[in-house]
Structure 1
Amino acid sequence: MIPFVRELAFEYGRCDQVSPLIRRVIARNPGPFTYTGTGVYIVGSGEVAVIDPGPDQTEHLEALQAALSGERVTHVLVTHHHLDHSPLAHPLARLHGAKVYGLPAPSPYASDAPALEEGGDDRFRPDVTLADGDVLSGPGWTLEAITTPGHTSNHVCFALKEENALFAGDHIMGWSTTVITPPDGDMGDYFASLAKVRARDFDVLWPTHGAPIRDVAPFIDAYVAHRRAREAQILDALAAGLTTIKAMVPSLYAAVDPRLHPAAAHSVLAHMLQLVREGRVVSAGTAGLDAEYRLA
């Protein structure tokens, strides 16, 4: 069982000091994929970095500007291109004369992916394209870019050296598992990125949605165990004669909000594609949502 952390004291638009170097403002965009909304992090004091500015909402921008009053934003950082993370990045950066840092959105592709609430900002392009290990700094704070593909191909987390903390974006969330939606999301990459973060031994993870994760190693281990258990369930379903993803989802995700079943189907597809790559499952024709599968 994943030890989810779902309690979060907040008010929309309020700026909360959540650690010595970190403040948070939560946007009013709650939903099945965003939980209470996008948590925007402000790092430092005086000259600051802003991580995942969130949706381009007037109310939200005004709340951020109030929180940043009298300060200079030197860096605007984006974990990935989804619409609950990136749209306000360039408008906020322009107001403060800052640059936007991250990885560009992947090229648009034909896909039968569901219209997720978070969606994708296919036009997102940072001013500065980051590489794994790049370091950004300001007075009293140091952030390291850690590339973590899986949820999306361009996902980046940011490590705060002074607090041994990680801004985890959607890579690891305390309230829920992370959706992996092919073709941009990749389960093999996701497992590798979880191991990469686990090896860093952070003291706390700050997801963009929901509360911080403070018992980090056991939480990541449970996250991985959950994915491996789902993988085993898929293999069991195949052994029981369920040969399509659509036939599997209602039983595999019986306890999940039905609104999330289209996304769940894509998560099963992500597992299935990885199992096919590993040679443990065979697809009749091109592997996809409507394909038939069998054990190798």
Structure 2
Amino acid sequence: MTTLANVKIDREFWKDYLSTQGSQLPHLDDVKDVTDRVIRVMGGNPGEMQLQGTNTFLLGTGKAIILIDTGEVRMPVWIQRLVEILKERDLYISHVLLTHWHGDHTGGVPDFIAYDATLENHIHKSHPDPGQNDIEEGQIFAVEGTTVKALFTPGHAVDHMCFLLEEQNALFTGDNVLGHEFTVVEDLTLYLQSLDIVAAQGFIIDYPAHGVEIENLPAKLKQYIRRAREKLIYSVLLDNWLNRGQNLNTKSGLSTREIVSQIYGDIPQRLLQSEIGPSTVEILRMLADTRKVDFAIQSGTQRWFINKGRQVV
């Protein structure tokens, strides 16, 4: 089965787009008590890819609290804000949970350890760096009034974790789902699988690592899943075209069944006809309406291929 792990993302286009959107993003307070057990502390690092900056979170209702993510390297404003909260409210951190390895989520770790060296043994991350603790799927982290469960969701990054706050049926989605627009991914196939896993859980509230809180996560996930499937289907057709040396003709196109097979492998005919096939055709038609793909009928079979004049990566 084709994994399409190397699907190219036009990051420069995305950065330009987000740069123009920056002035339209809603203001987020530097520190906010989001609920009685969730405090958001902004990382102080707004930018094209970070939106208003990295959202880091303190969880708990007692003196011991859990920290999710640590902001960016060389951003002293984040650790200053964090230390101020800890001192003002007489709190201490029992666990540091990192959603993934990207620098705007892990860069604050050295500043954090410099503040309290004992915390070096309390840092948790999937695929941990030396000296860090691993996070297992389903692992529970608990403090007074708060139970957090780890959910492995690779795709945006190979080590990406989401964290469920059981008391609120809320999810901390890291960079898998953002408060504004869409994220970029390393592995589109894994990412789509992770979105499907999250969608099946029925979480309602989302605290993303960038942007505003999402009050209707199921609706947001439908948007994300459709966008990811569009990109994945297009990438299968692009892969087929590139593998044939860009010598495009109707014979080099793929049928719906062949597209589905490359994405999902062999699936039962019933599932193909009732669910996956129709949704794939719907997306293909949408891509055809925007002239990104085209099709031809050959021997009674509709075969799809890239529109050479409208290549989109």
TM range (shorter): 0.5 to 0.7
| Partners of 1:187 and 1:133 in 2: CA distance | 23
Q: Give 2:287's aligned residue.
A: none
Q: Which AA in structure 2 matches 1:143?
A: V
Q: Greater helix share, 1 or 2?
A: 2
Residue 59 of structure 1 pairs with residue 64 of structure 2: no
Deviation digits for residues 174-204 of structure 1 (CA, Å, limit 9, x no counterpart): 2121211xxxx22221111111111111120
Question: How far, CA to CA, are the matches of 1:238 and 1:167 in structure 2?
Answer: 33
Letter in 2 for 1:10: L
TM-score after normalising by structure 2: 0.64
Does 2:120 correspond to 1:100? no
Distance 1:40 1:89, change over 3 A: same
1:84 corresponds to which residue? 104
C-alpha separation in 1, matches of 2:237 and 2:162:
34
Change (3 A) 1:126 1:187: farther
Which structure 2 residues correspond to residues 66-145 of structure 1 after superposition, within 5 A? Answer: 66-69=84-87, 70-93=90-113, 95-96=115-116, 97-98=118-119, 99-104=122-127, 124-125=129-130, 127-145=132-150
Match for residue 199 of structure 1? 200
* Cα distance, 1:162–1:8 mapped onto 2, change above 3 Å: farther
Tell me: CA distance 1:222–1:93, structure 2 relative to 1, closer, same or farther (3 Å). same
- For residues 204 and 126 of structure 1, the distance between their equivalents in structure 2, rounded to whole angstroms, comes to 33
Per the TM alignment, residue 84 of structure 1 is displaced from its structure 2 partner at its CA by 0.3
1:229 match: 230
The Cα shift of 1:206 comes to 0.6
Once the two structures are superposed, residues 13-49 of structure 1 have per-residue CA deviations (whole angstroms, 9 ceiling, x without a partner) of x320011210111122111211110111011142111
The higher radius of gyration belongs to: 2
Change (3 A) 1:139 1:101: same
Compute the TM-score of the two structures, normalised by the length of structure 1: 0.68
Q: CA deviation at 1:230?
A: 2.9
1:229, distance to aligned residue in structure 2 (A):
2.4
1:21-36 equivalence runs, <5 A: 21-36=37-52
For 1:233 and 1:189, how far apart are their aligned partners in 2? 16
Tell me, in whole angstroms, the C-alpha distance in 2 between the residues paired with 1:134 and 1:195: 20
User: How do residues 1-296 of structure 1 correspond to structure 2 at under 5 angstroms?
Assistant: 8-11=26-29, 14-45=30-61, 46-56=63-73, 57-69=75-87, 70-93=90-113, 95-96=115-116, 97-98=118-119, 99-104=122-127, 124-125=129-130, 127-180=132-185, 185-234=186-235, 243=242
Counterpart code for 1:9? H
CA distance, structure 2, for counterparts of residue 159 and residue 175 of structure 1: 20
* 2: CA distance, partners of 1:139 / 1:276: 44
Unaligned runs of 5+ in 2: 1-23, 247-258, 267-303, 307-313
- Say how many residue pairs are matched: 225
Letter in 2 for 1:37: G
1:59 Cα offset (Å): 1.8
Deviation of 1:148 after TM superposition, in Å, equals 0.5
Whole-angstrom distance in 1 between the partners of 2:178 and 2:53: 13
Q: Please report how far the alpha carbon of residue 277 of structure 1 lies from its aligned counterpart in structure 2 after TM superposition.
A: 8.6
Q: How many angstroms does 1:236 deviate by?
A: 6.8
Alpha-carbon distance between aligned partners in 2 of 1:158 and 1:171, rounded to the nearest angstrom: 12
Corresponding residue for residue 311 of structure 2 = none
Summarize the Cα distance change of 1:126–1:170 in structure 2 as closer, same or farther, 3 Å threshold. farther
1:148–1:155 Cα contact (<8 Å) kept: yes
Work out the CA distance in 2 between the residues paired with 1:151 and 1:179.
Answer: 6
How far is the alpha carbon of 1:227 from its aligned partner? Answer: 1.8
Identity level (%): 25
Q: In structure 2, do the counterparts of structure 1 residues 214 and 276 end up closer, same or farther at CA, with 3 Å as the change threshold? A: closer
Name 1:288's counterpart in structure 2.
Answer: none
| Residue pair 1:104, 1:125 contacting (<8 A) in 2 also | no
Return closer, same or farther for 1:235/1:102 CA change in 2, 3 Å cut-off.
Answer: closer
Q: Do the aligned residues in 1 keep the contact of 2:28 with 2:212 (CA within 8 Å)?
A: no
Q: Distance in 2 between matches of 1:198 and 1:277?
A: 18
